[in-house]
Amino acid sequence: MTVFGEAVDYCDLQTLLRQRAQALRLTMESIDKTAGFADALASHILQPFPIKSALGPQTLGPLLTVLGLKIALIEDPEALERVRRHSQWQEQRKGMARRNRPPGRFTDMFIEKEIERRLAERERGVEAA
- What is the three-state SS of the chain? CCCCCCCCCHHHHHHHHHHHHHHCCCCHHHHHHHHCCCCCHHHHHHCCCCCCCCCCCCCHHHHHHHHCCCCCCCCCHHHHHHHHCCCCCCCCCCCCCHHHCCCCCHHHHHHHHHHHHHHHHHHHCCCCC
The pTM is what?
0.66
pLDDT grade for 116, boundaries at 50, 70 and 90 = confident
pLDDT tens for each residue of 33-63:
999 999 999 999 998 887 667 888 899 999 9
pLDDT tens for each residue of 64-106:
999 999 999 999 999 888 888 876 777 766 655 555 555 555 5
